[in-house]
Amino acid sequence: MIKTMPYSLYKTGYTEFKAGNYNGGRKTIDVDLPDYKKPRFPAEWRKDGNHYYAPNGCVITFWGAGFAENFLVERWVSQYNHSSKTFPAGLYAREKVMEFVASFI
């Protein structure tokens, strides 16, 4: 599937896929993406606005939509013990988020 996307989005998360024509006027590029169905987050993750709350104490914040969806995963153990990681937009960003959250179990 050929998808036209902004060149900056292509450089952040889609460079592993074959790129086609670059339009310098609109700063877009054609990218050949595989057929892919975006996975859903587990049902036990509670959603509230642009946040998901995992049962193990992780807070997943997302912004953007579709191919430009970014994630920030945070876990507070105590006031001084904090883990966080940002996942830039990409075709497999949701899988990476689920693997990272599962590592805290």
Instruction: Tell me what percent of the residues of the chain surpass a pLDDT of 90.
Output: 83
Joined together, the tokens standing for residue 23 give 């339009």
Q: What pLDDT score was predicted for residue 77?
A: 87
Predicted TM-score (pTM) of this structure: 0.88
Mean of pLDDT over the chain: 94
Asked if pLDDT for residue 104 goes beyond 90, the answer is: no
Query: 104 with 57: CB under 8 angstroms?
Result: yes
Q: What pLDDT score was predicted for residue 19?
A: 95
Mean pLDDT computed over 39-44: 95
Query: 95 with 37: CB under 8 angstroms?
Result: no
Nearest to 55 by CA among 63, 43, 40, 71: 43
Q: What pLDDT score was predicted for residue 105?
A: 72
Look-up of token digits 């693997």 = 99
Confidence of residue 8 (pLDDT cuts 50, 70, 90): very high
- CA 95, 20, 10, 102: dihedral to nearest 10 degrees? 10
Each residue's pLDDT tens digit, 56-85: 999 999 999 989 999 999 999 888 999 999
Q: What pLDDT score was predicted for residue 89?
A: 94
